[in-house]
Chains A and B, each alone.
Chain A
Amino acid sequence: MATKSRTFLPIENSLKMRYLEQYAHAVVHYSSKYNSHCSYSYAPHNLVGKYVKYPSYGDFQEAYFLRSYGKWWKTSSATQKDYRPQDFDLLGAEDFITLEFGSTVVPREIFIYEVYNPGAVIRIWGRLKIDPKWHLLWEGFPQKCAPKSRKFCPPLRKINCLINIIRLEFNQSHLEYHTAIDAVLLSGYQPETTFQSEIIRHGLTEVKFNTPQTIRELTVGDLEKRTKNQGDVSENLEPVDCFCLLPDEIIINIFHYLDLKSLSRCAQVNHRWNKLARDQTLYQNISLKIYWYLVDTETLDHFQKKIVNLKKLDLSWCNEHQLYFHQRLNYDYHLKLQSIIEGASKTLTHLSLNDNYFVDFDVIGKINQCTELVDLRLHNSFNWIRCPLDKLTNLVSLDLSLTYIIAQDLIQILMANPHLENLNLDLCEKLVLVDQIVETVAMFNKKLKTWRSWKSFYFTPDGIRKFGLCQNLEELDLGWCLIDRDPGDCLLSIANGCKRLKRLILSEWRGLSEQLLMPVILSCKELTQIDLIGIKTITADVCENALFRLPKLRLLDISFCDGVRQSEVEIWRQQYPHITIQRSCEFIVTDYL
């Protein structure tokens, strides 16, 4: 809290402490990953310990990779639209990872070893494992960086607090390709005695103006902004309250443009505003994702009192406040979550609970009562296996990526929801009978536009052939689905059936050959994105065909395609400047003896 009036006194000057540098000790939570659980390539766990590849630059399996990059993912119709556009994150955090360190320190420096496409880190948070309060250590806009490895050392906010957990937030939307991080180093001063650490924890070394910090009040970061704003307001404000002249309806209409934080502040202005700011129509859509660090049982309770006709609810990421904390608080939070969903079951149409630990069998049971649901997102939640969502019949979008859903339950859902358009099954490892699922989709979900099943290892060419029956399919993500099998003629039936295909991801179909791919290029004229990572048999010929024959093509990923020479790619890049041709750099620095 470095306000202008007070100078910051580093704690290490007044207490004798030990300076310590440490690499991450464990990974606690993450929202995105490239690979499945069984594999250590590209996995979050690669962030543990010292860097292994830095200062080399390239696409290394020993580093942590995020799944998405650039604008390509946002153009899809399956991507979640903001439920409450007023509450947007200025820095646009898309993913996060939480790391635990072995020793508790007062943070002074953090080094992030970025080994591929650096510049995605936008925020760093820190906290103590036993304390639910997060401290913002640094934030900044995503950066455009030169393509070389970088030891990123952001200037940390000067605070005297103890942390042993940090959370990095990423915005990859400006990157050319996947970003990769090799290691994270946290350095700072470690208290030598328990007494010292208690003093620091309770902030006894400095006088503190204690303000209660809930979502209705303010965060540390905003205090500075508010003090500034107050200065401006007092200069310009005339003693007449123009709002007196406006009718309630107009004020409420204006309130509709405000984010939740501003609304909460408005409610503190005067009685009239307080009454107006409680208007039910203001709280039909609620998205607390960007306030994840503030959301606790009390906050949920607060909103539960305001909402009547809740339509859209986004509680993604909103569990960090609770984690590892008190068992009873967890229990309360869990119950509150259930009761909110239950209370809104008649009206709720959109529900997003991505990366939320508290989604379990009980919560799924409550979700099942929300029969109006159109959009359901349960990305990255592992506390449930059985998913008896048999009462939902109106689903249009369903995101079950990174879950343990099993085929039996999924088939039941698919059969009951004829309007389903978007289905995301990335990295679902318990999904064994995928072929049967495709068969069900082809029969019951004629409107399906998006199918994603990145890394489903149980596909057979027969199952994939059935996608030919889904005529409305626009997006087909079958990356890593047929690693070591011969695809046969399954692409032919897709070429014949799915004329509207826009995005086709066939990463690592190592048995694919030119002849098998050509039918798609010849008949799917709508294709804008093709992904052919790691297919050795792809030749320059078929790439040229794709570039030439597909008028709408914008992205062609031929990384690790050894059959295509770099010189040819350079020529194509000049010939087709509107098409992005991705070519992952493999090894720039190799370790020699």
Chain B
Amino acid sequence: MHSLFVTGRLISRALLNGIHNNFSTASDPKLQQKTEPHLVSAVCGFSKERKIQRLAKGQFGDDAWFMAKDKIADVLGVADGVGGWRAYGIDPGEFSLHLMKTCERLVSLGRFNPTNPSELLASSYYELLHNKKAILGSSTACVVLLNRENSTLYTVNIGDSGFMVVRKGRIIRRSEEQQHYFNTPFQLSLPPPGYRADVLSDRPESASSDNFQVEDGDVILVATDGVFDNLPQNIILNELVKCQGERCASRLQMVANSIAWMAHSLSFDETFVSPFAERAFANGINMIGGKPDDITVVLATVAI
């Protein structure tokens, strides 16, 4: 990922070069030619709770996210802890946060298959079992991986978090929701041993995977259901179109902020007919308004 830090370093290096060459060139053209496929990314999110409870990095309420990179791949992911565990005295954010942290660590250690993010998700899930701290709960997850070698995006999705890829003003790929029934997504779970039979638990292998070629300038949105349930698709698309081909991380950040902020305000709007309300209606449930939920937006553009 092309973070601000790296940008800063590139600029300063370019400047240094410039000084050496008696101000003849402002930047080194070779540097730009040599860049291989990578993602420029930004994150924004809100917790459902108004008051700030936690401030751990990589977490918004029960949602969690990560960004990691390796020599051969850039990886992004989000996970949404299932809130129902609070009733059992289990912090739902813990499972999702650890799942994402472990993914991040596995990527940084190079212990993953650059053509199969579902393996990454599965090994991260099994790794949770080996933690001394008993991590219980369940979570949906979505991980996308840009393989630098063949500029292909590999994705894996379990549950109702998801991703969306926009190219030239059109949505070219979008994840499908996996649900057992309305408002009950597929989920990875580690229930307390006694409750095993009563809990929905899907194998990491049941996640849906996909892969496709990406082009320079493609916009990738990876977000939790708090975004997709509250923002109609055309609003999201309008925002994503703005940042096609964007290589400046801070301008990308502004788009991510506006998507997250819109989703956040609409989720508390009691009169708005949200996509969630529409689906509820289709399932015979009469409700209106947004769905208050934690919101995580991870936005990235492909730079080749």
Check B106 for interface membership: any CB of A closer than 8 A. Answer: yes
CA A484 – CA B133 in complex, angstroms?
13
A48, B109: Cβ atoms closer than 8 Å: yes
A510, B105: Cβ atoms closer than 8 Å: no
User: Which bucket holds chain A's interface residue count?
Assistant: 35 or more
B129, A62: Cβ atoms closer than 8 Å: no
8 A-B residue pairings within 8 Å (CB atoms): A40-B127, A49-B109, A483-B129, A486-B193, A487-B193, A511-B192, A534-B132, A584-B132
- Tell me, rounded to whole Å, the shortest Cβ–Cβ distance linking B253 to chain A: 14
Chain B residue at smallest Cβ distance from A513: B194
Residue in A36, A38, A61 whose beta carbon sits within 8 Å of that of B131 in the complex: A61
- A36 / chain B contacts, CB cutoff of 8 Å: 130
Given contacts A484-B196, A511-B194, contact A59 B127 (CB under 8 A): no
Q: A508-B134, A537-B192, A592-B56 are in contact. List 19 more A-B contacts (CB 8 A).
A: A40-B111, A41-B127, A41-B131, A42-B132, A48-B109, A49-B109, A59-B132, A61-B131, A61-B132, A62-B105, A486-B194, A507-B132, A508-B132, A510-B136, A510-B193, A511-B194, A536-B192, A591-B57, A592-B57
- A277 / chain B contacts, CB cutoff of 8 Å: none
Check A590 for interface membership: any CB of B closer than 8 A. Answer: yes
- A511 / chain B contacts, CB cutoff of 8 Å: 192-194
Residue in A61, A482, A560, A584 whose beta carbon sits within 8 Å of that of B134 in the complex: A560
- Tell me, rounded to whole Å, the shortest Cβ–Cβ distance linking B106 to chain A: 7
Quick one: which of B106, B130, B132, B190 has the most chain A CB within 10 A? B132
- B190 / chain A contacts, CB cutoff of 8 Å: 484
CA A510 – CA B191 in complex, angstroms?
10
Chain A residue at smallest Cβ distance from B190: A484
- B105 / chain A contacts, CB cutoff of 8 Å: 40, 52, 62
B106, A40: Cβ atoms closer than 8 Å: yes
Q: Which of A577-593 contact B (CB under 8 A)?
A: 584, 586, 590-593
Check A533 for interface membership: any CB of B closer than 8 A. Answer: yes
A40, B109: Cβ atoms closer than 8 Å: yes
Check A559 for interface membership: any CB of B closer than 8 A. Answer: yes
Chain A residue at smallest Cβ distance from B57: A593
A591, B56: Cβ atoms closer than 8 Å: yes
Given contacts A510-B192, A591-B57, A592-B56, contact A45 B109 (CB under 8 A): yes
- B196 / chain A contacts, CB cutoff of 8 Å: 484, 486
- A510 / chain B contacts, CB cutoff of 8 Å: 134, 136, 192-193
CA A486 – CA B129 in complex, angstroms?
15
CA A482 – CA B134 in complex, angstroms?
13
Check B272 for interface membership: any CB of A closer than 8 A. Answer: no
Check B6 for interface membership: any CB of A closer than 8 A. Answer: no
- Tell me, rounded to whole Å, the shortest Cβ–Cβ distance linking B69 to chain A: 14
A592, B55: Cβ atoms closer than 8 Å: yes
Check A307 for interface membership: any CB of B closer than 8 A. Answer: no
Check A66 for interface membership: any CB of B closer than 8 A. Answer: no
CA A559 – CA B132 in complex, angstroms?
9
* 3 A-B pairs with least C-beta separation: A511-B193, A39-B130, A41-B130
B134, A534: Cβ atoms closer than 8 Å: yes
Residue in B56, B133, B192, B194 whose beta carbon sits within 8 Å of that of A590 in the complex: B56
Question: Hey, what's the 0/1 contact readout for B31-54 against A, CB within 8 Å counting as 1?
Answer: 000000000000000000000000
Number of interface residues of B (CB under 8 A): 22
Check B126 for interface membership: any CB of A closer than 8 A. Answer: yes
Given contacts A38-B126, A485-B193, contact A560 B133 (CB under 8 A): yes
- Tell me, rounded to whole Å, the shortest Cβ–Cβ distance linking B129 to chain A: 6
- Tell me, rounded to whole Å, the shortest Cβ–Cβ distance linking B273 to chain A: 34
- A41 / chain B contacts, CB cutoff of 8 Å: 127, 130-131
Question: Hey, what's the 0/1 contact readout for A52-65 against B, CB within 8 Å counting as 1?
Answer: 10000001011000
- Tell me, rounded to whole Å, the shortest Cβ–Cβ distance linking A456 to chain B: 14
A484, B193: Cβ atoms closer than 8 Å: yes
- A482 / chain B contacts, CB cutoff of 8 Å: 193
- A508 / chain B contacts, CB cutoff of 8 Å: 132, 134
- Tell me, rounded to whole Å, the shortest Cβ–Cβ distance linking B177 to chain A: 27
Question: Hey, what's the 0/1 contact readout for B190-202 against A, CB within 8 Å counting as 1?
Answer: 1011101000000
CA A590 – CA B108 in complex, angstroms?
19
- Tell me, rounded to whole Å, the shortest Cβ–Cβ distance linking A392 to chain B: 34
- Tell me, rounded to whole Å, the shortest Cβ–Cβ distance linking A588 to chain B: 14
Chain A residue at smallest Cβ distance from B59: A593
- A584 / chain B contacts, CB cutoff of 8 Å: 132
- Tell me, rounded to whole Å, the shortest Cβ–Cβ distance linking A561 to chain B: 9
B131, A535: Cβ atoms closer than 8 Å: no
Quick one: which of B57, B111, B193 has the most chain A CB within 10 A? B193
- A45 / chain B contacts, CB cutoff of 8 Å: 109
Q: Which of B163-211 contact A (CB under 8 A)?
A: 190, 192-194, 196
A39, B127: Cβ atoms closer than 8 Å: yes
CA A517 – CA B109 in complex, angstroms?
39
Check A35 for interface membership: any CB of B closer than 8 A. Answer: yes
- A590 / chain B contacts, CB cutoff of 8 Å: 56
CA A533 – CA B132 in complex, angstroms?
7
- Tell me, rounded to whole Å, the shortest Cβ–Cβ distance linking A72 to chain B: 17
- A533 / chain B contacts, CB cutoff of 8 Å: 132
- Tell me, rounded to whole Å, the shortest Cβ–Cβ distance linking A411 to chain B: 28
- Tell me, rounded to whole Å, the shortest Cβ–Cβ distance linking B192 to chain A: 7
Chain A residue at smallest Cβ distance from B193: A511
Question: Hey, what's the 0/1 contact readout for B248-290 against A, CB within 8 Å counting as 1?
Answer: 0000000000000000000000000000000000000000000
CA A228 – CA B56 in complex, angstroms?
59
- A49 / chain B contacts, CB cutoff of 8 Å: 108-109
- Tell me, rounded to whole Å, the shortest Cβ–Cβ distance linking A41 to chain B: 5
- A484 / chain B contacts, CB cutoff of 8 Å: 129, 190, 193, 196
Chain B residue at smallest Cβ distance from A41: B130
- B56 / chain A contacts, CB cutoff of 8 Å: 590-593
Q: Which of A486-542 contact B (CB under 8 A)?
A: 486-487, 507-508, 510-511, 533-537
- Tell me, rounded to whole Å, the shortest Cβ–Cβ distance linking A326 to chain B: 31
- A534 / chain B contacts, CB cutoff of 8 Å: 132-134
- B194 / chain A contacts, CB cutoff of 8 Å: 486, 511
CA A562 – CA B134 in complex, angstroms?
9
Chain A residue at smallest Cβ distance from B111: A40
